[in-house]
Structure 1
């Protein structure tokens, strides 16, 4: 039968005589005084288990369920003496509804967490020693404790995964988080204390990634100007103190890259403050790093585009010569990347003839970033060359009739290589029936 009340810890003799047992080892006082052999103390855990049939089990389960509901009400009443009436209502409704919840068979990860996992795997590098400045600091800084940063990360992550899944519902949710992010970041920028904090800097970078992921063209990046102004404001406020820690140097490099890219696309010259801070950062970095050398060329490219746009350079010969010289530097830089890791060329059986017909699988995300940054810059340079040749064709016969066709072919090749860039996420990519290694 079901046991009621608390189990006695005394010896069997004292329990039968219904007297108090002092449980002294090796024998209790009551047994020693009476001259009896003390039987000792049984394992209380072992005594808790009873043998009973299925009918008794069912009865006990029903009794326990009813008692549990009564106990829940008692807990709520005790809590009501300590908290307000409004809070009691919430606790009561939650407590009384617990028994009605149907627990799933497995644990399902929330959508936002899955999106963040995807974003970190496709847009952030792991910190492996070299300072890259590609979101690797997201793995080491307490992002979840910063409300504005975690909200911005969720927005960017939902945008990235929504694009990958072609999910309109997920992209809608991303825009909702983006609206919240803007309010939080604007509030932080308006506060002189919070504006220069690391959380604010990272939040702006994540918002900039959201813009890039959700925008179809440069004109649709409506908030990009504001984000870059926020980056420049923080750089001006903090100056060299940005680089007081490893994460600070990583964030600084990331901000520089975003600013340089923004200046090329607008086009405007890279601010002198940024160039000065890069000179200060040399003491922490290896200037032979391909990313550093690429950004040095990108700074000159931004200046070149700004001069052409403003009319500082008007001679077509000079414009084309400068563009070809910068293109050659970027081409040599790309060729030098082979010593940092090889890629596999994988043929694809795509029905769309506009696709290149192959993939280039790189072993590391960093290789994809560097190569595609250089390819994009070269595309801009070849676009300038073609524009000059088309608008001044009569005066540029000395350049040769083949320059225009060569530039167009090079542009097509660069676009194909950008579209074909993938990562070696899994080995079964090589064994897929739709791919074959060349």
Structure 2
């Protein structure tokens, strides 16, 4: 009888691959990740003591026989690891970089809950599509991503036609992943409309799902993510249907679900709504019957909103604060020939707080670009020292926000796999920072290199397009008033 010590109780796949099995029911996370049936878990009471008398006798006899025989050729064929399919690579990417772990959660940590509760065909297909798109540097992954995206669209449309599944977390997660696919693959100059349509569709689902969606952690996270994307989309595309009475009522309940640490999320969302409404009135402001008075009123309103955004930042508790690290070398995480603008970088509590900070900085850049443009129009109509001072002030704010966004980037490459996955949320803040007039040549050059780097290392095709647009100085009308 032999005592075997503490045995592994995991499933067959986890034991074979020497993985940490979480032994969830009905399937562990590792088997769920590779879409394989879980073999179940072993009983510890039957494993600790084992009668190995026969095995010991056989081994002893084999040793005696071997000692009497001439040495044999010990050359054996090298072992090769079993091939990994593209689907397995895609699922592995999603779980490693976007879901993360308990200690280091990714920007889509809720996906694990969705797969355990309702692993619908639509959700599984969209997860594979996003994972394959993230691996698009491999030609076979690029082709497979497009094919899986078509399957995902069909499965999601089927789910939306069913009154029950249309309200599920799984279906909303699938729609949100479709928008993520567009963010990874599309050219922002001509295809971001598809992303906008997915976001608008997801917002309609929020209204359809009602108050019950806010009772679970995954439901509240999905609600928050979709709502922020819709608010940002409404700013860039000047949409007026972002704050319906139903959404306002849901947002009020969502605020009551937040702990004290996360109340700033709701406060910032209210500021985004004000910015969206403001952007609708900025386009064509100088064409109104009394353009001087109208422009001056809008500039004053914009300056007040910018002051409120600054107040939001100063009101944050220490939970939200980040550490500023002075760089001790002239290079950066992106290479020695690209010094970090400002000579410093930031370290955050987690990637989700880093993303929220960059939403704030992006909002201030967009707002101050509108203020700058309107001040220049007003200067043409009625020159004054106040106009000139407002232009300089807006440029200074944009310069600082652009440098702060750049200072966030090294954190994504040094905070582990979840930080790397969060790069999908920093592309647009980087692009807006590089596009604004407040960024100097050094910052703009750093941003173009950073987007190239993200495209090459993370397989995000949109980052490549963004870098090219900045180099070619492509004119866009995404910022109101420009």
Is TM > 0.5 for Structure 1 vs Structure 2?
A: yes
Shift of 1:377: 0.6
CA offsets per residue over residues 58-90 of structure 1, 9 Å max, x none?
xxxxxxxxxxxxxxxxxxxxxxxxxxxxxxxxx
1:293 to 243, 247, 267: 267
User: 1:318 aligns to what?
Assistant: 297
1:271 to 239, 243, 263: 243
Residues 139 and 390 of structure 1, relative CA distance in 2, 3 Å threshold: same
User: 2:433 aligns to what?
Assistant: none
TM-score, scaled relative to structure 2: 0.60
Shift of 1:372: 0.3
User: 2:113 aligns to what?
Assistant: 140
* 1:184 pairs with 2:171: no
Distance 2:187 2:314 in 1: 31
Unpaired stretches in structure 1, ≥5 consecutive residues: 1-42, 58-101, 429-438
Asked if 2 retains the 8 angstrom alpha-carbon contact of 1:317 and 1:396, the reply is no
Asked if 1 retains the 8 angstrom alpha-carbon contact of 2:340 and 2:407, the reply is no
Distance 1:304 1:119 in 2: 37
SS at match of 2:165: coil
Residues 232 and 424 of structure 1, relative CA distance in 2, 3 Å threshold: closer
CA offsets per residue over residues 278-312 of structure 1, 9 Å max, x none?
01223312476222211110011111112334769
Shift of 1:191: 2.5
1:373 to 356, 359, 374: 359
Residues 181 and 254 of structure 1, relative CA distance in 2, 3 Å threshold: same
Which structure is higher in RCO with an 8 Å CA cutoff and minimum separation 6? 2
Residues 382 and 220 of structure 1, relative CA distance in 2, 3 Å threshold: same
Unpaired stretches in structure 2, ≥5 consecutive residues: 1-52, 70-76, 417-482
Shift of 1:44: 6.0
Residues 380 and 424 of structure 1, relative CA distance in 2, 3 Å threshold: closer
TM-score, scaled relative to structure 1: 0.66
CA offsets per residue over residues 225-257 of structure 1, 9 Å max, x none?
431342233223222122232322222222212
Distance 2:83 2:349 in 1: 31
1:307 to 281, 285, 290: 281
Distance 2:101 2:302 in 1: 35
2:325 to 342, 345, 352: 345
Distance 1:139 1:206 in 2: 14
Distance 1:335 1:239 in 2: 34
2:398 to 401, 411, 435: 411
Distance 2:353 2:249 in 1: 27
Asked if 1 retains the 8 angstrom alpha-carbon contact of 2:351 and 2:412, the reply is no
Shift of 1:322: 1.6
Residues 215 and 299 of structure 1, relative CA distance in 2, 3 Å threshold: same
User: 1:333 aligns to what?
Assistant: 312
CA offsets per residue over residues 320-362 of structure 1, 9 Å max, x none?
1121122222223234447223223353514247966543232
Asked if 2 retains the 8 angstrom alpha-carbon contact of 1:123 and 1:134, the reply is yes
SS at match of 1:401: helix
How large is the Cα RMSD of the aligned pairs?
A: 3.7
Asked if 2 retains the 8 angstrom alpha-carbon contact of 1:242 and 1:248, the reply is yes
Asked if 1 retains the 8 angstrom alpha-carbon contact of 2:379 and 2:387, the reply is no
Asked if 2 retains the 8 angstrom alpha-carbon contact of 1:112 and 1:158, the reply is yes
Q: How many residues align?
A: 337
Residues 329 and 427 of structure 1, relative CA distance in 2, 3 Å threshold: closer
CA offsets per residue over residues 378-430 of structure 1, 9 Å max, x none?
111011112112222132525242321232232233223213313276589xx
Asked if 2 retains the 8 angstrom alpha-carbon contact of 1:133 and 1:252, the reply is no
Residues 336 and 245 of structure 1, relative CA distance in 2, 3 Å threshold: same
Asked if 1 retains the 8 angstrom alpha-carbon contact of 2:122 and 2:152, the reply is yes
Distance 1:400 1:136 in 2: 47
Asked if 1 retains the 8 angstrom alpha-carbon contact of 2:106 and 2:351, the reply is no
Asked if 2 retains the 8 angstrom alpha-carbon contact of 1:196 and 1:238, the reply is yes
SS at match of 1:182: helix
Is the radius of gyration larger for structure 1 or structure 2? 1
2:345 to 345, 354, 359: 359
